[in-house]
Structure 1
Amino acid sequence: MSPSEQGRSARRPQGRSGGEARPTNRGERSGGRGPSRAVQPARQVAYDVLRAVSDSDAYANLILPTAIAEAGLTPQDAALATELTYGTLRRRGLYDAIIAAAADRATDSIDPAVLDALRLAVHQLLATRVASHAAVNESVNLVATTVGRGASSFTNAVLRRIARETPEQWQERIEQDARSDDERLALRSAHPVWIIRALRRALSAEGRVDELEALLEADNVSPEVTLVALPGLAEPVDPRRPYAATAFASPGGDPRRSVEASGGTVRVQDEGSQLVALALAEAAPIRAGERWLDLCAGPGGKTALLAAIAREHGAILEANEIVPTRARLVRNALRAVPGEVVVHEQDGRELAASRAGAFDRILVDAPCTGLGALRRRPEARWRKSPADVAELVPLQVDLLTAALEALAPGGIVAYVTCSPHLAETVGVVQEVLRDRADITELDARSVIADLARSPIDLAEDGRAGSGSAQLWPHRHGTDAMFLALLQRTDAPNTAAKED
């Protein structure tokens, strides 16, 4: 699940200020912006999205399609705007280090609007085939029209300094200042050090630490657009994805056309998300009349897939999403599936507590850091911090604990995160299962392997007794989805502790 607002506080980037004449920057707006200069539409769209990401904590993957449509970009310009946006966001850490070196000042002293223009320009200079003079001139024009002439002079000076050296020279120069091997890898791979270390630990638990650089590289490649055909309502179109029978690659062009043409029975959905939902359905034979719950349903992709499966087998699905705007997205996603699915708007912990023993299958697609979806949301790597993990883990533990209490005997919970961070995955499962004799962990790897259309490499976690499954971008071409399947037995809960 993409990170939910449930139990979380928004984090805003800190403000920036300062500027002088070395090159000059802030404080020169009084000179006026001067005559308006035309900026190429694709660059303008990319810049506007970058500003929204910086100023409003917006997610590029949500606002970029709308910005492209509103600007009326041609397919060629839309592709350029997409590459400029995502490429700039992915490598922001490296670009900031280069900008700081060229400007001889920290980036937090540069006007945020100018800094985003500089980032966009540096990406063009160092990572695309855009001619240097075009990247510099367009960026100077962009700053002149949006900030002012003084800021455009600063921009021009910084970019011309950057353009004098090759990407390789800048990479070597920046890495020389790194204080450790992890910092050098962070600059090379455009990942914060703490994320690199978390990913290394997760791979090490599988005995696959040698895959770290492949994983980091995969995080910096735009993912293939994957569609889901809701079972019983639509059929996948070749070429199919390798694992989920419901998944297929986008035929090309704007995938929204396929979605609209299908009436919503075909949707955009990562294959990893499909696999974890299918695993809950395939973990045991489905009996007619079963009651299912999607406890943290927003924005509704997995909910729609479960609803279609439930419809085919005579099961009854309910959904819950605490955030009203996301609950509306869930209802919209369910419109394509005949029949009624009740969508609650409650704290998932309270809903589950009020329905003890009521459900046969529960999906806990828990709010998480989203570190498994950095391919799709590259800006998230620069927003998150270890503090987010510490804030989310107690919520994840509470949600999973409550879901287990809402299970009927023999019922199954699928605990899912779009994060491979061990604290959010096996750590949560171990914490919840401590001293519980009424819960058995099923072999999620075997369930996924059995439903996959082709062999799938799911390395075992090194922890004794763990049956969880971890998907990876570099190994499976999916988001890094985690899955644990937990089944309630008839044995009493022995988790109660003495006072």
Structure 2
Amino acid sequence: MAERRYSRPRRSIDEPRLIAFDAMRAINGDGAYANLVTSELTAGLYPRDAGFVIELVHGTCRMQGSYDRIIEAAAGRALSSLQVEVVDVLRLGCHQLFRMRVPQHAAVASSVDLAGVAISERVTGLVNAIVRKLSSKDFDQWCDQLGETLSPRAEMGLRLGHPHWIVDALADALHSDDDELAALLEADNRPPVPMLVVRPGLAKRTELLTEGARRAPWSLWGVERPGNPSELPAIRQGRAGVQDEGSQLVIQAATAVHPRPRGPWLDLCAGPGGKSALLRGLCPTLLVAAEPQVHRAELVARALRAYPGGYQVVVADGREPAWVAGSMALTLADVPCTGLGALRRRPESRWRRDSSQVSELAALQRELLTNAIASTMPGGIVAYVTCSPHRAETVDVVAQANGVEVLDAPALLPDVPAAASRLDPRFIQLWPHIHGTDAMFCALLRRIDAPRGA
């Protein structure tokens, strides 16, 4: 009788975990943004499955650096010695084991099956061995083991999913004790409820106040509403948008400055257009929205599309102005930055930056602020804004500005508690753990003279 051959049954994996793996490959392999890629890949899924994918992907991205340290300890080898696809399977396994209500046996088995289906059967033995080792301790126990060789701040970063350099930068800006620092890091790890904004002159907040929604605590235009914003007609029509309350508040402060000369307003770094749309609704004359990248300029135009006119979108670099110097009554310089203030909304971003990039960005920020001042008429207002509380991107940049008077920006948000920067009380500094917003910084300057070096 001929020998009967038995073949290994083909593996299968559930669709949400396979989608989560595809999302991680797009994020870590192609530089995709977690919120955009999960939105695209979960379209059409049942809400429960979509929620599972979003929590698995966003949570894994948020804690990725910490999980990587644990994976290396469990595997006994450097992460660089493993296939990048295998590493992403292990990261997803970590999040299921440590942060989700997935039974341990299911987290192990599904990781092995995912590796077999998405990568190759030949890596399943390795994945099985490492995930089983990962499951031998809970997250706190792994942190206890790894923390023995770390400084207190580095251990805090490990436990709360922040690189050490970011922990130090936030500690410096917060200027407080480690208990408050931990509260800030924990707030960075809580996904925010979507915050909506009505476009002045196009919609009223009552349109957005559907069941479960509430007015923003301080913004004149904001509504906090769980769920999918595109369900609302005002959002689909461009009469309202999605915008963090912190971004709304810095515009609220900038446009509250009086006296202010009459003339056009400028959004110097306009992409993707949320602040431009809010400014256009408040601008009494003409808004000029400048953006150097064509595809982002198209996003600005899309954000402004519901307005019948009163704006110009120009493809221009703020360092090489395409407008007449000294012609703007109000200039917003919402400059490119590390994004340390938006870590709760961009879970992958904390692991994409490093401290060496700060000085390069600060040089760009100083150049943009210099040109923002030069673009503004005497007596006009410059709003210097960053979504970062880092000292080098905020107070240090403004300290080098010439030909301006620094205004008391927090006084223009009298109802917002503790809005003054702890590094300089003339500036606004918002915080996730205090205000429930991104950590937006805003300095308001009045041009009084031609800046040196412009």
The TM-score, its normalising length taken from structure 1, stands at 0.85
Q: Secondary structure at the match of 1:108?
A: helix
Count of aligned pairs: 442
Cα drift, residue 138 of structure 1 = 1.6
Using the TM superposition, give the Cα deviation of residue 37 of structure 1 relative to its aligned residue in structure 2, in angstroms. Answer: 3.1
Deviations 1:363-409 (A, max 9, x none): 10001010100001121111101111111111100110011011111
1:208/1:293 Cα in 2 relative to 1: closer, same or farther (>3 Å)? farther
Secondary structure of 2:392's partner?
A: coil
Q: Which residue is equivalent to 2:154? A: 183
Q: Return the alpha-carbon distance in structure 2 between the equivalents of residues 99 and 263 of structure 1.
A: 46
- Distance in structure 2 (CA, Å) of the matches to 1:188 and 1:231: 43
Q: Which residue is 2:447 aligned to? A: 488
Conservation of the 8 A alpha-carbon contact between 1:259 and 1:267: no
**SS of alignment partner, residue 100 of structure 1:** helix
8 Å contact 2:18–2:118 — kept in the other structure?
no
1:36 is displaced (CA, Å) by 5.3
Q: CA RMSD in A?
A: 2.0
> What's the CA shift for 1:455?
4.1
1:339 equivalent in structure 2: 309
Does 1:171 find its partner at 2:143? yes
Question: Deviation at 1:280?
Answer: 1.6
Q: What percentage of residue pairs aligned between the two structures are identical?
A: 46
- Worse overlay, 222-231 or 335-344: 335-344
2:125 counterpart of 1:125: no
Q: CA deviation at 1:448?
A: 2.1
1:130-153 Cα deviation digits (max 9, x unpaired): 111221222111111121112111
Unaligned runs of 5+ in 2: 1-7
Q: Secondary structure at the match of 2:166?
A: helix
Instruction: Find the counterpart in structure 2 of residue 299 from structure 1.
Output: 272
1:442 aligns with 2:436: no
Of residues 393, 396, 399, the one that matches 1:427 is 396
Query: Can you give the 5+ residue segments of structure 1 that lack an aligned partner in the other structure?
Result: 1-33
Q: Which amino acid aligns with 1:280?
A: A
> Deviation per CA, 1:70-90, whole angstroms, max 9, x where unpaired?
xx2111111111110111011
Q: Is the 8 A contact 2:143 2:155 kept in 1?
A: no
Instruction: Give the alignment of 1:92-107 within 5 angstroms.
Output: 92-107=64-79
Give 1:196 shift. 0.6
**For the residues of structure 1 that align with 2:53 and 2:443, how far apart are their CA atoms?**
38
Aligned with residue 174 of structure 2, among 203, 214, 226? 203
Looking at structure 2, the residues matched to 392 and 412 of structure 1 have their Cα atoms a distance apart, in angstroms, of 23
Distance in 1 (alpha carbons) for counterparts of 2:178 and 2:240: 37
Structure with more relative contact order (C-alpha pairs < 8 Å, separation 6 or more): 1
- Give 3-state SS (helix, strand or coil) of 1:432's partner: coil
Distance in 2 between residues matched to 1:112 and 1:235, nearest whole Å: 48
Q: Give the TM-score taking structure 2 as reference length.
A: 0.93
4+ residue stretches of structure 1 with deviation over 4 A? 207-210, 259-262
* 1:319 aligned partner: 289
Q: What is the DSSP-based 3-state SS (H/G/I as helix, E as strand, rest coil) of the residue aligned with 2:215?
A: coil
Task: Tell me which amino acid in the other structure corresponds to 2:50.
Answer: A
Q: In the aligned structure 2, how far is the partner of 1:138 from the partner of 1:481?
A: 40
SS state at 1:486 partner: strand
Q: Distance in 1 between matches of 2:413 and 2:358?
A: 27
Q: Partners in 2 of 1:227 and 1:65 — Cα distance?
A: 17
Of the candidates 255, 260, 263, which is equivalent to residue 290 of structure 1?
A: 263
Superposed displacement of residue 57, structure 1: 1.2
Aligned residue type for 1:355: V
Rate the CA distance shift 1:191–1:402 in 2: closer, same or farther, 3 A.
same
Helix, strand or coil at the partner of 1:456: coil
Distance change (3 Å), C-alpha of 1:208 and 1:366 = farther
Q: Distance in 2 between matches of 1:309 and 1:485?
A: 17
Equivalent position amino acid for 2:239 in 1: T
SS of the aligned residue for 1:256 comes to helix
Q: What's the offset of the Cα at 1:259?
A: 5.7
Cα pair 1:299 1:330 within 8 Å, conserved: yes
8 Å CA contact 1:259–1:268 kept in 2: the answer is no
CA shift, 1:202, in A, is: 0.5
Q: Is the 8 A contact 2:370 2:401 kept in 1?
A: yes
2:268 paired with 1:308: no
- Whether 2:202 is the aligned partner of 1:233: answer yes
Cα offsets for 1:326-385 (capped at 9, x unmatched) = 111001101122214211111111116x52110000110001010100001121111101
